[in-house]
């Protein structure tokens, strides 16, 4: 697993990329009020590009997304980056997942915008975003997530929580506590935080797509509604290579609502039919260390990440 996993550091964020899924497993950033203010003045320029730091055999390419019906969906959004160089770096395909177009352009846009507003209110946030794979769903070489999460930690409140949505059309989202997200995804976004802080749930703002004044109320989400390509592609869900994973539940009752911690789904990156059995421990070591990795290895003069538990 370590051979197929690539930790990458950029000016404003860090990624753990998988050469198995051809997507990031997580993308982590430290978002501040100053970053948001500076980012708002930068004009967005779409410049998607393959990641040259990844060997050819494991690297996702622009052609992997062509005529698939999926957007190249940012995990760390370009709208969070406060310099033109940092913004351009978010367009690396190492920061992209195959994302349903309706989700990417509406509900997810609203979640990203709400997080920027929260960062302005709080002063700073730690944000970790990533895919959730509950079934083996491929489009070409790409592994398609059925769900997407965005975990948020507020140092001022000493609280954390995560948005969770299906990777499909619609406006359904829910908030889940961090321990539930770890069980669902296999990734601990904040491994250095004490249990009392990860168990202390942060109230997340309702998404406001395109300036929606009232926001979208939380509801129920299901992985059964995720992994769906856009309608314009002409593809149908049954055209994709699909197989349920061990632990997934395909009944109408398989929904996840805020506070409903008993529903558990299989985690694709821990399954033996995707990964070699001997790789599991290595994945757990790498995949559960988003901020820990960044804190130790961020390759910049002044790290944007500090220990969230620090008293400084």
Task: Answer yes or no: are the C-beta atoms of 249 and 265 closer than 8 Å.
Answer: yes
Q: Which residues are catalytic?
A: 74
- Burial class of residue 232 in the structure, from the number of CB atoms within 10 Å of its CB (0-12 exposed, 13-18 middle, 19+ buried): exposed
**Among 188, 157, 154, which residue's Cα sits nearest to residue 292?**
188
Q: What angle do CA 302, 204, 197 make, to 5 degrees?
A: 65
**C-alpha–C-alpha distance, residues 156 and 308, integer Å:** 10
Structure tokens at 218: 């939380």
């Amino acid at each position: 697993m370590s051979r197929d996993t690539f930790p990458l550091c950029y000016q404003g964020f860090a990624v753990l990329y998988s050469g198995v899924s051809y997507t990031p497993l997580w993308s982590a950033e430290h978002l501040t009020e100053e970053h948001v203010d500076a980012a708002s003045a930068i004009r967005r320029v779409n410049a998607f590009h393959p990641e040259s730091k990844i060997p050819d055999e494991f690297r996702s390419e622009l052609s992997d997304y062509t005529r698939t019906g999926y957007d190249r969906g940012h995990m760390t959004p370009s709208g969070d980056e406060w310099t033109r160089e940092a913004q351009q770096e978010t367009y690396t395909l190492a920061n992209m997942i195959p994302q349903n177009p309706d989700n990417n352009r509406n509900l997810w846009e609203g979640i990203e915008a709400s997080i920027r507003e929260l960062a302005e209110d709080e002063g700073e946030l730690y944000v970790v975003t990533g895919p959730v794979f509950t079934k083996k769903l491929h489009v070409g070489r790409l592994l398609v997530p059925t769900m997407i999460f965005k975990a948020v930690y507020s140092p001022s409140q000493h609280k954390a929580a995560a948005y969770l949505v299906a990777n499909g059309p619609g406006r359904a989202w829910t908030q889940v506590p961090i321990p539930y997200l770890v069980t669902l995804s296999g990734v601990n976004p904040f491994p250095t935080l004490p249990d009392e802080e990860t168990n202390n749930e942060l109230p997340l703002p309702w998404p406001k797509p395109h300036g929606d004044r009232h926001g979208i109320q939380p509801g129920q989400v299901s992985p059964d509604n995720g992994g769906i390509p856009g309608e314009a592609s002409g593809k149908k869900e049954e055209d994709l290579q699909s197989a349920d994973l061990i632990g997934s539940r395909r009944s109408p009752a398989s929904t996840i609502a805020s506070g409903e911690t008993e529903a558990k789904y299989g985690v694709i990156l821990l399954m033996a039919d995707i990964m070699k059995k001997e790789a599991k421990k290595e994945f757990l070591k790498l995949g559960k260390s988003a901020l820990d990795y960044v804190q130790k290895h961020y390759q910049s003069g002044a790290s944007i990440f500090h220990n969230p538990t620090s008293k400084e």
